[in-house]
Structure 1
């Protein structure tokens, strides 16, 4: 009986400690700053799955923004691969919920405060390496 009680307490402790690690915020969540040919831009990955691009004071993305006269949102999906991540930036029409477009990319974390991001600017092409169309981003928050 005492053994069963101890095992139950051990099992509950294990579950509680495991639960805290299951809900950690991924390293890539936050606001990132990058520079490309003198232009400075920002990419934000929110905890709730939205992405925001900021360039020249213009914002595209998040829960609500206007694109081509249509109110839209931009979410992201990340899938871990060996040594890097696949990332999909998905723009959806808020009125219909239909996908209006996607940007496919990859990124790798080089440290807790730096990532390398490569995006394919053709809706059907994901980069396979970090040799072209890459930008180094540094975390600012």
Structure 2
């Protein structure tokens, strides 16, 4: 009788636990579309930590791409801050895992389907606000 009671408690616990749905991935994972000075571009952040930039049909990033004649990959790391996130896009050479470069940025989520991103390109430091050179991206996938 005692084992039946324990089994019943276990089953009820599992049913309750399984009834709550946990998100598979953070809201920033997916494909995003944005416009910068009239040009359309895309950013993809994958569940497994890779990042891809697509602009005018050219793709930079992902698990494997060519950069300056080297096979490379680009992944991203995110750190939650109080009202926004830090994001680092890290480009590594595939043959020896050497870091070729890092782009530092910030982003905030306006909603599940809209993100504002600011990135320090050309070796500039991580932006500290969204007042200049920020791009609004809309989730498309």
**How many corresponding residue pairs?**
139
The 5 Å alignment of 1:85-104 reads: 85-104=85-104
In 2, Cα distance between the equivalents of 1:14 and 1:130?
A: 44
Structure 2 distance, partners of 1:19, 1:133, is 40
Question: TM-score, normalization: structure 1?
Answer: 0.86
Runs of 4 or more consecutive aligned structure 1 residues displaced over 6 Å after TM superposition: none
Extract unaligned runs of 5+ from structure 1.
none
Gap regions ≥5 residues in structure 2: none
Post-superposition offset of 1:124 = 6.1
Map of 2:127 onto structure 1: 127
Displacement, 1:9? 2.6
For 2:19 and 2:79, the matched residues in 1 are separated by 21
Cα-Cα RMSD: 2.5
State the shift of 1:63 in Å. 0.2
TM-score, scaled to structure 2: 0.86
The structure number with the bigger radius of gyration is 2
User: Post-superposition shift, 1:99?
Assistant: 0.6
Q: Report the Cα offset of residue 138 of structure 1.
A: 0.5
